[in-house]
Structure 1
Amino acid sequence: MSLPASMRYVDLPSFGAPEEMVIATGPLPTLRAGEILVRVEAAGVNRPDVAQRQGTYPPPKDASPILGLEVAGEVVALGDGVDEFSIGDKVCALANGGGYAEYCAVPAGQALPFPKGFDAVKAAALPETFFTVWANLFQMAGLTEGETVLIHGGTSGIGTTAIQLAKAFGAEVFATAGSVEKCQACLDLGAKRAINYREEDFVEVIKAETGRRGVDAILDMIGAAYFQKNLSSLAKDGCLSIIAFLGGSLVERVDLTPIMIKRLTVTGSTMRPRTAEEKRGIRDELVSDVWPLIEAGKVTPVIHSVLPFEQVAEAHRLMESSKHIGKIMLKLA
């Protein structure tokens, strides 16, 4: 397959506001062993992209400095040692960076086939949130059938994914959101109870809904502002899984007693620093355990907006407004 000498990509000359991002032209990525080159048809916009643009979430040293952590499109070149994909395959992939571009190099172990019936936009809406939810809620927090879970930010990309997956695997789901419309969206996705955090105390709601027992797991992206309240909302042997710090990372005063009394586990992770082997392991479980649910229509990405590649600044402004329900996508082809 003949490839062009250059590609368009989103450049970030300096950190700052969305307007700092500009469309530029440069060389295609150089493939390393074990990587595939994807001609990008669609890319997802995620909170880590916003943080990187602002200068607070630098990419790993060996990753592309270009923004973008998830893509979907066509495989157009194979690096040395790649035998699980072929030229022309349609894949979506968790990228280590470089997704806001016409071509993106990704480790083959982080790529997945399009679910049956999916186009590029829907496929590109899968990797970042599904990798994150599977790793943190199912692998680390160990959520299983019959358990209860509280998902904060229920209408974010992470939240809409987590509600559906938890419900599909037999858990009872509670979710927080910031408006009547967003709470209804959580209910529509399968939550038993949606809690409007602007009007209700989620600790009291959880106690009332669970007979004061608490929930078995909490998926949290708020951090410090919710830490004490999360501990109060967990049942014995419960697990708090922290994946972001939208409400700060420093807790000045906290009573740790619930951790001891209730034998709680507090854990957390970010996806980007994980090794290629760890990400491949998550990928393999998604293909075997989750892709069949997607293809059966039991779980699907919730997409709020699809914007042209050239409107990347508007996509970031929408992300920062928190007015969206579900994913914000960029379309390239």
Structure 2
Amino acid sequence: MELLERALDGYNGLSYEKINGSKFQMEDEQLRKKVVFNLKGVNITPYLHMESFQEKLKNMNDYDYVNGHGYYLDGYAEFGIIGFMDEDNPHATFEIGKVYSFGSYHFEISPRSELFSFLTWYEDESKSDFNTLKLNGVSKENFPIEIEKALFYIGNNFSEDIVEEYREFLYPRIIDFREVGMTAELFNYTKVDQDLDWGSPITNHLSLFNQGESSDNYNFFAYYRFMETFFGEGNEVDELTMLVESIDVTELLMFAKKYGLIESNGTAKSLAKSLYQVRNNYIHHKLSRERIFDPTFNIPVYILTKWKVITKEMAIQLLNLHCNQNS
């Protein structure tokens, strides 16, 4: 009981009561939503082991949780959202906190609820304030589809709020809240050599490098594909290993060991092997309906941001090494 109270400390809008034995009920007073759970077998020292807790919630409630995005509970879905409605526009026609309706559904966009914060704190490293889409009248089977309908409704009914040249960036979309406010990893990147041989076939693939520079933290794979343009005809793992061993990996190894990407005694070869494994985990998963909001699948976002550092530095060094005017 004491440990449960500690886990709920600071969530003023959440209350709980003991039903019997190790069975409890928690309520978000503002949302008027309740969840039942059993703490038997759940490690709550010093805090709730949230992954086990999530499974308990799924087994005992009309509930589902989508990693990094939000949850469904008893006809209600709440997901992180971003777009033009975040802009401070005094002339905007869309209102934060106002209830809108389409079809048989009604929704609002407003600051995340206490229940959202509690259910996601163990994944949310940003600790930033952001809005969530709160959609009522959905079911566990159809909430992903109805969320997309809500986004379409917002984007098209309030299109005048979006400056046309920024439309593709400000169109409403569900976000991975683990990335909200996340800054780029600090790393002393090698300076790109400006004296490139622009006639080199490798420079024909700079769109991949550009994609890595301009995209989010998931896209460490853009730099990886750029590295693949340096591959020969051999086995892919061997080719990747040879490339990694051909560059200065001193700082890369220090970085990889610091963040647990490789073992403390890891080498250039083990770094290449780990990178190849992550690459395969990322591209070979099948996109299922249940994972519609989770493009990272089983790879945590905070790991992808670290691997993006690795592949960017490798790409820079390979570009300098093989495309220098004097090489």
Give the alignment's TM-score, normalised by structure 2. Answer: 0.29
Point out the structure with max Rg over C-alpha. 2
Higher strand share: 1
Higher helix share: 2
